[in-house]
A and B are shown apart, each in its own frame.
Chain A
């Protein structure tokens, strides 16, 4: 580990420490926005772990997230609460592994469409089971507060960053970068491309399922139509792309401004929210094609040259 890496690690740990103190400052409005940010930070970062290096755009976040909320919905009365995110993670990884093995041989737009359909598929499956068993909408009534959820999400974010950092340093991370650049070359170099992709897809699926399990007590009423709402998948992609997927911290740089922008628009133009969001997104893509990460690289490049 180089001195620079140690410095970064210490700085990140300090940043997490500071952010974790937030609930002592405010438990209302700011905490509720911060909880949303924490949720999207985990989702977008774990999404970028897979989609960043491989360039496979996955729209399956809602499928894993919804699965996680249902794990909590079914289990919170009979099982200890701490075990639920774990179970959700295992199931999420399992589903991702299953789906990955079948679909990661697809590439480009075929994969995108399949992942979009996955949320719908899982939703229909859950509904079918509920219909068969006469199960109804679930009420997750607990004493868990927003503050608890916020801390859980922060812990999860730290874990995702750690995993991402480790993967980046490992042979797996190297293999994925090669796959992203040229899959044929990767295959010819003896990399088991299918295995590498499936493993990473499982990491991101597990993370999304865990987030779902953690958020179920916040929503209280769990029904398939809101748990598997496809808009979540798109939000995650938009935020990650806004930040840029080239760096581990990229998605966070998208999540924070996008959540603030969303809140600003919701507050000041309640009748045109979606319209303005769409315009904002067009503008962002036009002005910042490489996301915030790309902007940083461009600035560095420009000022680096100017110095000579």
Chain B
């Protein structure tokens, strides 16, 4: 053990000295990242956040770094664990900014951690381009934190679009108007359930079953029991990863197979298809991508190669896109000066080429073009509803679990 750690130290020193020599022409751009490596959200960050961040740094360095006015600069990534704890997220951002003196920071993972870190980003003038922050508070947040940008989309829009998918299916005569609506009893689930219920009722749908369950609940069987007994045409669950898997499992066990089966977060994870295989066909969820887009295909392939796992079909790409946006703003200004880059980002007339397609921010720092609903079709989670994106696929009805 001792010898090994000594060897590691020697190797680390050697690498550091080597990199010092290489960087003498142009210092590396330091990029700080704090996100969960432990705690409740570590699993999600491991799928969505860390691989996308490391992939962008890796690819950018392979390509010779970012082009500044005085020559190319490589990127040095500094990672911290925020332990899924707002207290630690604040301290880690502070540490990156004032101790490691990083030039730029990757926005944290999840809505809560992004908001906890927002004052630090804002006070110290770091752009905070968020890829995993879904909220409806863009007007208030961008007023308070003018350096905060939103790539993933709005909660309200996602709930509306999900309801709209049902409306469209009924118009075309594919389903009736009986809906079972369940949600995880948590800020996210409550908000989404409320919005989708309002849209559905407005359109004359009948909510034949509605319930909620606490976060982390073990016994999901009664929910599927109740939903099945109500005999709905569509089942909508505003669920989190654990319950997304549990609800699907239980529906298969009880052979509850409505024409529309929707579970929210984590349905877009490759592990969802890995677990359910053919049975996942026709399941709908939040997010989606255009898998026929060569930009996404290249991203997915590189992701698989570097991380040993594919990206998820929703926020992986938007996390990666936040760094593409940052990189393009740095290159366009040719500067590592945060104030200059910030000014460029805040200029609404600028647009960015990303894996999501072109991205442009409105006057609330909000990206208005994103995927809202996806569906597993032939082993790929295709976007079936979107705002302002090309390549929307048609919805197919779910035809049983076998």
**Interface set of A (CB-CB < 8 Å, partner B):** 28-29, 32-33, 36, 124, 127-128, 130-131, 134-137, 139, 141, 145-146, 218-221, 223-226, 229, 231, 263, 266-267, 270-271, 273-274
Contacts and interface: CB of A to CB of B under 8 A. Distances in A.
B85 A218 contact: no
B81 A127 contact: no
A220 B115 contact: yes
A28 B123 CA distance: 10
Contact of B119 (A36, A131, A220, A224): A220
A140 B99 CA distance: 28
Contact of A134 (B81, B95, B97, B194): B194
B157 to A, nearest CB: 15
Contacts of B140: 139, 141
Interface in B192-225: 194, 212, 214-215
A146 B87 CA distance: 12
A218 B112 CA distance: 12
Choose among B116, B137, B190 the residue with the greatest number of A CB atoms under 10 Å from its CB: B190
Contact of A271 (B37, B120, B124, B137): B37
Interface in B111-164: 111-112, 115-116, 118-120, 124, 137, 140-141, 144
Interface of B: 37-38, 40, 79-81, 83, 85-88, 90-92, 94-95, 97-99, 111-112, 115-116, 118-120, 124, 137, 140-141, 144, 185-188, 190-191, 194, 212, 214-215
Given A29-B94, A270-B79, A273-B38, A137 B116 contact: no
A267 B188 CA distance: 32
B112 A223 contact: yes
B112 A226 contact: yes
A146 B187 CA distance: 26
Contacts of B137: 139
Contacts of B40: 225
Contacts of A221: 86, 111-112, 115-116
Contact of B81 (A130, A219, A226, A270): A270
A117 to B, nearest CB: 14
Which 5 A-B pairs rank lowest in CB-CB distance, beginning with the nearest?
Answer: A137-B187, A221-B115, A29-B98, A136-B191, A28-B98
Nearest to A144: B119
A126 B151 CA distance: 31
Contacts of A146: 119
Given A136-B190, A270-B81, 12 more contacts: A29-B95, A32-B90, A32-B120, A33-B91, A36-B87, A124-B214, A127-B186, A128-B185, A221-B111, A226-B112, A270-B80, A274-B38
Contacts of B194: 134, 136
A271 B144 CA distance: 33
Contacts of B92: 266
Nearest to A138: B187
A187 B81 CA distance: 50
Contacts of B190: 130-131, 134-136
Contacts of B212: 131
A33 B191 CA distance: 34
A32 B79 CA distance: 19
A223 B85 CA distance: 12
Contacts of B98: 28-29
A300 to B, nearest CB: 36
Contacts of A137: 111-112, 187-188, 191
A32 B144 contact: no
A270 B188 CA distance: 29
Residue of A130, A135, A270 ringed by the most chain B CB atoms within 10 A: A270
A188 to B, nearest CB: 45
Contacts of A271: 37, 81
Given A36-B91, A128-B185, A226 B38 contact: no
B115 A139 contact: yes
A266 B91 contact: yes
A214 to B, nearest CB: 13
A135 B98 CA distance: 37
B137 to A, nearest CB: 6
12 contacts: A32-B94, A36-B91, A130-B185, A130-B190, A141-B141, A220-B118, A221-B112, A224-B186, A226-B86, A263-B95, A266-B92, A267-B80
Looking at B99, B118, B140, B187, which has the most chain A CB atoms within 10 Å of its CB?
B187
Contacts of A36: 87, 91
Residue from the set A36, A224, A263, A267 with the largest chain B CB neighbour count within 10 Å: A267
A141 B142 CA distance: 11
Contacts of A225: 40, 186, 215
A221 B87 CA distance: 12
A57 B193 CA distance: 40
Contact of B90 (A127, A218, A274): A218
B81 A28 contact: no
A273 B82 CA distance: 10
> Which of B38, B115, B120, B144 is packed against the most chain A CB atoms within 10 Å?
B115
B212 to A, nearest CB: 5
Contacts of B215: 127, 225
Nearest to B214: A124
Given A29-B99, A32-B94, A229 B85 contact: yes
B112 A274 contact: no
A266 B81 contact: yes
Contacts of A135: 190
Contacts of A141: 140-141, 144
Contacts of A263: 91, 95
